[in-house]
């Protein structure tokens, strides 16, 4: 067998797609592309696909990961192109590499998020971020499978940075576009804890510490995932695989 690791993006309107629907779309695309999948044993065999930390519904991402196991060896780039063509626009396969030693979850410790807050003054946003980082504990309420619980959002936040002011060209407020709103851009590095602290939890924490309430819904995108290095940056989880890809014997037909 051969194991491949894929990085894919969830863009545009597809950010509102649930993880279950994304998984179904991938399985259909694998069949259409003729990928020689390996299957589990037993009464109801299913393709060997392993998902790693899917982004929440409503959130875009440039760094989603999935592992697939194949029955024969293929060229990763050929598979990437054919699988990408079989997926709907907005689900885009960006990279495919053969898996090296270890597991992919071992290489993913945190995420970097970009959170756009139209109508929020960047100066006000920076003050709220400083206040959040100055706290040791900031609890927010989350609805989990076992009911509503208070979770410590601050414990997962590694870093918060506010970009320079951006003028939005078309921000929808109510039923119509309102051009020219000032937009604060928050870049957050967040550890992947249990339960997971999501971008909306970070915004809830800003509301708790600084009463920051965006006038319109925020737009969140995951920019990267990986392990934290000594400087607090994220390492590329596919880098070791990319450096040690063995030769390919056969490509998919």
Residue 232 lies in a domain: no
Residue 185 has which token pair?
């851009």
Reduce the secondary structure of 143-195 to three states and give it as a string: EECCEEEEEECHHHEEEEEECCCEECCCEEECCEEECCCEEEEEEEEEECCCC
Note the pTM of the prediction, 2 decimals: 0.87
Q: Judge if 61 and 120 occupy the same domain.
A: no
Q: Judge if 93 and 115 occupy the same domain.
A: no
Range of the domain at 127: 109-226
Q: Which residues of the chain have pLDDT under 70?
A: 164-181, 244-253
Q: Judge if 118 and 209 occupy the same domain.
A: yes
Q: Judge if 126 and 99 occupy the same domain.
A: no
Residue 3 has which token pair?
């194991």
Q: Judge if 60 and 41 occupy the same domain.
A: yes
Cα gap 126→116, rounded to integer Å: 13
Q: Judge if 18 and 113 occupy the same domain.
A: no
DSSP line for 116-128: EEET--HHHHHHH
Q: Judge if 73 and 101 occupy the same domain.
A: yes
Cα gap 238→234, rounded to integer Å: 12
How many Å separate Cα 213 from the centre of its chain? 24
pLDDT tens column, 200-249: 999 999 999 999 999 999 999 999 999 999 888 899 999 988 776 555 54
At residue 225's C-alpha, the angle toward residues 221 and 231, to 5°, is 110
Domain count across the chain = 2
Q: What is the CATH number of the domain that holds 175?
A: 3.30.70
Torsion sign over Cα 101, 104, 110, 116: positive
pLDDT tens column, 48-67: 999 998 999 999 999 999 99
From residue 104, how far is each of 142, 225, 237, 251 by CA, in Å? Answer: 28, 11, 7, 24
Q: What is the CATH number of the domain that holds 7?
A: 3.30.70.580
Cα gap 141→167, rounded to integer Å: 32
């Amino acid at each position: 067998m051969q194991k491949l690791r894929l990085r894919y993006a969830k863009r545009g309107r597809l950010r509102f797609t649930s993880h279950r629907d994304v998984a179904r779309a991938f399985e259909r695309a694998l069949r259409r592309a003729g990928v020689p999948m390996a299957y589990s044993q037993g009464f109801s065999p299913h393709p060997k696909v392993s998902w790693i930390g899917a982004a929440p519904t409503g959130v875009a991402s440039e760094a989603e990961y999935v592992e697939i196991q194949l029955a024969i060896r293929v060229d990763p780039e050929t598979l990437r192109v054919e699988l990408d063509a079989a997926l709907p626009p907005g689900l885009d396969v960006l990279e495919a590499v053969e898996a090296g030693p270890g597991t992919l979850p071992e290489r993913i410790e945190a995420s970097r998020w970009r959170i756009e807050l139209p109508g929020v003054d960047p100066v006000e946003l920076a003050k709220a971020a400083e206040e959040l980082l100055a706290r040791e504990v900031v609890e927010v309420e989350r609805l989990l499978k076992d009911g509503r619980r208070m979770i410590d959002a601050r414990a997962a936040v590694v870093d918060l940075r506010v970009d320079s002011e951006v003028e939005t060209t078309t921000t929808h407020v109510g039923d119509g576009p309102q051009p020219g709103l000032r937009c604060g851009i928050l870049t957050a590095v967040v550890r992947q804890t249990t339960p997971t602290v999501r971008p909306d939890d970070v915004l809830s924490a800003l509301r708790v510490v600084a009463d920051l309430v965006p006038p319109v819904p925020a737009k969140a995108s995951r920019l990267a995932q990986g392990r934290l290095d000594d400087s607090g940056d994220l390492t590329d989880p596919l880098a070791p695989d990319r450096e040690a890809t063995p030769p390919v014997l056969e490509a998919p037909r």
